[in-house]
Amino acid sequence: MLTLSMLAAAFAGCLGGDDEPEPEPEWSLTAAPDVNPVWVESGWDPIIPNLNAGEMCEAIISAMTKTDERDQVVDFTRAYYTSSQGVIGGSGAAAISAVGDLNMAGTTIGLQSGTTSDLYAADNLAAATISAYEDFPSVIAALNNGDVDYAMGDAPVLSLEGDLMVTFSDENFGLAVREDSGELQAALDVAIGAVVASGEYDAIYGAWFDGAVTLADDTTADTATAYPTPSEGSDLTQVLESGDLRLCTDPFYPPFEAYDADGNVEGFDADMADAIVDEIAAHYMGTENPMFQAPVSATTKIGLLNPLTGPIAVYAPPFTAAAQMAIDDLNAAGGNFELIEADSGCSGDVASGAAQSLVDAGVVGVAGAACSGASMAANAVLDAAGVVQVSYASTNPGLSDADAYPGFWRVVPSDAIQGPAMADMATAAGASNPALLHMTNDYGSGLADALPRGLHLKRQWVRSQFSKKNTDEFSFVF
């Protein structure tokens, strides 16, 4: 018998009601146009837990040494830097010839907690007092304050703070990923290998370190040599589709990672991260893969107003030598400074023209002039251009007037101080009827004005002046 329900089912079948659902479309990667590193600041102690929590970052690049203990909770890429531990001493610290010399009672060592230095000290320097700090800047502050005798850490980092006393314990740095991030680890391994093979690694290394590259090859048969095919839901897929490789880092560890003046992360690790993501993007997205170019630091020009001509030209060569020594010291410390010299003579007319030539040359500051009159005239030109002026010899008291001579500084005392000192000398010598003979230039007049105020004379006294241009006006009688 044909029932209504059977009839309804028949109609439903004819209408396709029992058809199988349409199959889901096969997954395919939808890649972003490019991949860029995104820096995520993390303290050092929680950096691995932050990675494994899965919210902050996909990888760590933070001068992290590959150790067996860490390898139990994260996976490491092949080495991207080979380092060593080192020791520097504070003021008055005794010299050492081996790290074992620190293993004695009464020796205090500062280091960053949770680092390989911390582990080494715990295992090998039990007799010493170990002070572990949360971050590296605190270690150096403790050393400089005298709270610890020595600082221990990665040799390249310590060498920026002082002279290395010893180095020891070679070790390799790697990027860390979560243990379920095999595809991302493989892509990073291949990218690091490509950076090394292309010669780009050498260029990056040379931008941050002196000497030959010492990167150890710690690859094994399990190290990837070909880029993996990304799968749905993997960390590699997340990176490729978002275009962001989030990198946890402790950015207070130059020269590996630190903030620049604009708040951007810079350093060896930062440049390596850029090169690595460029390799990955070139493979998966077909983007250009530019070679690393070391930034050329801008040269900072410092002007010197020097009396190359005029009455005190004899002093010009020592002034030049002293200024160049200062520039050399700044450059030896990593600066990029250039000395631009101009003849200020000992007159306002010459100095104002010299000051303008320094402004035109692009100086950011000027040392000089020597003569007070030259400094006064130069100041009008320099201050108008926003160039600070620091004199090494101008002593006229009037230059202390910040309204009349804005932007002027000096490293010698004013004649307002020298005058009373001369008065004290005259009084101590028993001079009761002094006479003063002085030159008419700004230096001589300023000093002459300051002297009688120091003598506190109650009666008239003799003061005479002369021009340097007409020295035969006087005969000197002693």
Q: What is the CATH number of the domain that holds 392?
A: 3.40.50.2300
Q: Of 410, 432, 457, which residue constitutes the final position of a domain?
A: 410
For residues 402 and 306, membership in a common domain is answered with: yes
pLDDT of 461 higher than 70: no
For 308-325, how does the pLDDT look when each residue is reduced to its tens digit (9 = 90+)?
999 999 999 999 999 999
With bands split at pLDDT 50, 70 and 90, how would you rate the model's confidence at 257? Answer: very high
pLDDT of 10 higher than 50: no
Q: Of 118, 146, 172, which residue constitutes the final position of a domain?
A: 172
- Establish if 5 belongs to a structural domain: no
Distance CA 405, CA 87 (A): 49
Q: Which of 249-263, 381-395, 434-448 shows the lowest per-residue confidence on average (mean pLDDT)?
A: 434-448
3-state secondary structure (DSSP) of residue 60: strand
pLDDT of 13 higher than 90: no
Across the range 43-48, mean pLDDT stands at 97
For residues 114 and 254, membership in a common domain is answered with: no
* Run of H or E including 332: helix 316-332
- Taking Cα atoms as reference points, which of 319, 382, 383 lies closest to residue 345? 319
Task: Identify the domain containing residue 104 by its residue range.
Answer: 81-172
For 324-383, how does the pLDDT look when each residue is reduced to its tens digit (9 = 90+)?
999 999 998 878 999 999 999 999 999 999 999 999 999 999 999 999 999 999 999 999
Q: What is the CATH number of the domain that holds 109?
A: 3.40.190.10
- Establish if 386 belongs to a structural domain: yes
3-state secondary structure (DSSP) of residue 257: strand
With bands split at pLDDT 50, 70 and 90, how would you rate the model's confidence at 418? Answer: confident
pLDDT of 296 higher than 90: no
pLDDT of 5 higher than 70: no
Q: Is the peptide bond before 203 cis (omega within 30 degrees of 0)?
A: no
- Establish if 293 belongs to a structural domain: no
For residues 230 and 360, membership in a common domain is answered with: no
3-state secondary structure (DSSP) of residue 289: coil
Q: Of 364, 381, 410, which residue constitutes the final position of a domain?
A: 410
Residue 114 near residue 122, CB atoms below 8 Å: no
Q: At what angle do helices 268-284 and 235-242 cross, to 10 degrees?
A: 90
The torsion angles phi and psi of 93, rounded to 5 degrees, stand at -70, 140
- Establish if 68 belongs to a structural domain: yes
- Establish if 147 belongs to a structural domain: yes
pLDDT of residue 208: 94
For residues 72 and 118, membership in a common domain is answered with: no
pLDDT of residue 455: 60
- Establish if 295 belongs to a structural domain: no
More confident residue, 94 or 20: 94
Across the range 384-407, mean pLDDT stands at 94
The torsion angles phi and psi of 123, rounded to 5 degrees, stand at -85, -25
For residues 162 and 229, membership in a common domain is answered with: no
Q: Which of 38-42, 143-147, 424-428 shows the lowest per-residue confidence on average (mean pLDDT)?
A: 424-428
Q: How many domains does the chain have?
A: 4
For residues 330 and 210, membership in a common domain is answered with: no
For 53-104, how does the pLDDT look when each residue is reduced to its tens digit (9 = 90+)?
999 999 999 999 999 999 999 999 999 999 999 999 999 999 999 999 999 9
User: Residue for token digits 């390596």?
Assistant: 272
For residues 139 and 261, membership in a common domain is answered with: no
For residues 351 and 422, membership in a common domain is answered with: no
For residues 331 and 437, membership in a common domain is answered with: no
Across the range 399-413, mean pLDDT stands at 95
- 351: which 2 tokens? 């100095």
Q: Which of 127-136, 143-152, 235-244, 416-425 shows the lowest per-residue confidence on average (mean pLDDT)?
A: 416-425
- Taking Cα atoms as reference points, which of 438, 307, 318 lies closest to residue 371? 307
Q: What is the DSSP letter of 398?
A: G
Across the range 289-305, mean pLDDT stands at 87
Across the range 185-207, mean pLDDT stands at 97
For residues 338 and 353, membership in a common domain is answered with: yes
What rounded mean pLDDT belongs to the chain? 90
For residues 179 and 263, membership in a common domain is answered with: yes
pLDDT of residue 420: 80
For residues 75 and 179, membership in a common domain is answered with: yes
- Establish if 341 belongs to a structural domain: yes
- Establish if 318 belongs to a structural domain: yes
